[in-house]
Amino acid sequence: MPPETILQKENNFSEWYSEILKRAEILDIRYPVKGVYVWYPYGYKLRKLIYEILQSLLDKEHEEVLFPLLIPRDELMKEKEHIKGFEEEVFWVTKGGSTELEIPLALRPTSETAIYPVFKVWIRSHRDLPLRVYQIVNTFRYETKHTRPLIRVREITSFKEAHTAHASRAAAEDQIKRAVALYKNFFDQLAIPYVITRRPDWDKFPGAEYSLAFDTVMPDGRTMQIGTIHLLGESFARTFDIKYEDKDGALKFVNQTCYGISERCVASVIAIHGDDHGLILPPEVAPIQVVIVPIVFSSGGEGNIEVKQVEEACFTVQEALKKAGIRTFVDNSEERPGAKYYRWEMKGVPLRLEIGPRDLRNNRCEFVRRNDFKRVHVPLSEVVPEVKRTLKEIHEEIHEKAKETLRSNIHKSEGIGADKSAEEMEELRRRAGRGIVSLFLCERERCGNELEEQLGVSVLGEVYEPEGGEKNEGGCLICSEKAKRIYAARAY
């Protein structure tokens, strides 16, 4: 177990987070423009592996496309509700050289208005449906609040947005379910626990009929939205005139959905699994899954022959692991072993193998797991299957731990209605400062605002898939009328 830690995740998450981004070489925040950052090679590899999982899931029933960054003003402005939600956040390109542009071009804040005019010409017949596409692009939002690397940014560098069009409302609803399943699968592979809610009407995606959202709880107790899924219905189809000819010859509007995930999913992996020693990456997405540290300078005696043997053994093991598809790195740099341990722990490598002369004499090596620093000896002949087994185990362990943390951060309030006492409210308020409070609230915006103000929280929304056996209806905490179970929390 490493004796020294400098970082303190629990006491000061903010500081921990920015230190980790720097020390683990995920993101360089020194670019001199507010809210935009540079991906280091290591961070970019992590991003790439995470998005490869997402793509492999999407590719089963979506096709990847690439739409332009620039959107003409008139298209962007077409959907009234939509633009209302975004207009204060749009970056504009107004000049070409020194020439003022006749029609200003927006940097996409999201791509509905870039994609849907093209859907109009792509979609002619019911045979063109369902149409399911996605792209992974950068989008720009002029955030006025505090920007935070990967969490609130002005350039979203990794916005995965899927857009689908269907012949019927039922088909679109079905797609929503598929998207939920897909996102669940994705976050499970990242070992990230989540809650799913239906956002309140006053907080849905601008232009959508309703929005579902995945949120996770960060170490400081605030929630972070990590995925959203929207049923657009016919609203955009009517605005952009996206129609198809049905079997009976009738022209009908398509029914649409869209759903997105951004680099916040990378932030969640970093924030949720890491500890005071640095990152802990789920093996699935770790750029280096196994680091092999040769212990080559045995004290006392002429070690030359041993040095060679140790190095050879390391590379032999690496070859075997690589053949088994495991991303393996041999750190035979000049540093002392301890310095290497610290570095790779900071970078979150899930499993470290140590091979020294002592091990070699016994035909074994040592495994050290990043998540709990447990150390075991493994015979060299069993390294490959043992590595596979251990990596799987590590994934399960960090997933379980994260799920437990999330569970413990959900506070259910039973039986507190509109007649609640000041003490009960104070208790709720206290709980809401750290994690999610679960309570009954009606759908009215007034009650939502009232609750948000009194508890200092945001309403996440109605619980999407309530647990079986749980009481899911009650009197609204504010007005005591019939209400459903909702989640609320301080949110990022």
CA distance 242 to 253: 6
Smaller CB distance to RNA: residue 14 or 408?
14
Least distance (Å) between residue 311 CB and RNA? 13
Least distance (Å) between residue 23 CB and RNA? 8
Smaller CB distance to RNA: residue 213 or 349?
349
Q: How many Cα atoms sit within 13 Å of 100 on the Cβ side? A: 1
* Both tokens assigned to 400: 């379980």
CA distance 468 to 82: 36
- Bridge partners (DSSP) of residue 398 are none
Least distance (Å) between residue 191 CB and RNA? 22
Smaller CB distance to RNA: residue 60 or 145?
145
Smaller CB distance to RNA: residue 6 or 170?
6
Smaller CB distance to RNA: residue 209 or 359?
359
Determine how many CB atoms are found less than 10 A away from the CB of residue 172.
22
DSSP H helices in 191-331:
235-240, 264-273, 304-323
- Cβ contacts of 50 within 8 Å, gap of 6 or more: 190, 265, 266, 269, 285
- Bridge partners (DSSP) of residue 440 are 485
Smaller CB distance to RNA: residue 142 or 464?
142
DSSP H helices in 203-356:
235-240, 264-273, 304-323, 337-346
Where do we find the tokens 């598929």? Answer: 178
Least distance (Å) between residue 81 CB and RNA? 20
The amino acid that residue 383 corresponds to is: V
Distance, C-alpha 403 to centroid of its chain:
15
- Cβ contacts of 233 within 8 Å, gap of 6 or more: 169, 172, 208, 209, 255, 256
Using CB under 7 A as the criterion, which residues of the chain lie in contact with RNA when the complex forms?
Answer: 1-4, 6, 14-15, 18, 22, 29-30, 32-35, 144-149, 277, 295, 297-299, 334-339, 341-343, 345-346, 354, 356-359, 366, 368, 373, 453, 456
- Name the residue among 115, 132, 131, 107 with its Cα closest to residue 79: 115
Distance, C-alpha 281 to centroid of its chain:
13
Least distance (Å) between residue 162 CB and RNA? 29
Extract long-range pairs of 174-180: CB within 8 Å, 24+ residues apart: 175/130, 175/132, 175/257, 176/212, 176/229, 176/231, 176/257, 178/61, 179/229, 179/257, 179/259, 180/212, 180/229, 180/464
Smaller CB distance to RNA: residue 60 or 146?
146
Smaller CB distance to RNA: residue 47 or 277?
277
Smaller CB distance to RNA: residue 40 or 464?
40
Q: Strand locations in 297-409, DSSP E?
A: 328-330, 351-355, 364-369, 375-379
Least distance (Å) between residue 293 CB and RNA? 8
8 Å CB contact between 80 and 206: no
Smaller CB distance to RNA: residue 263 or 359?
359
Least distance (Å) between residue 145 CB and RNA? 6
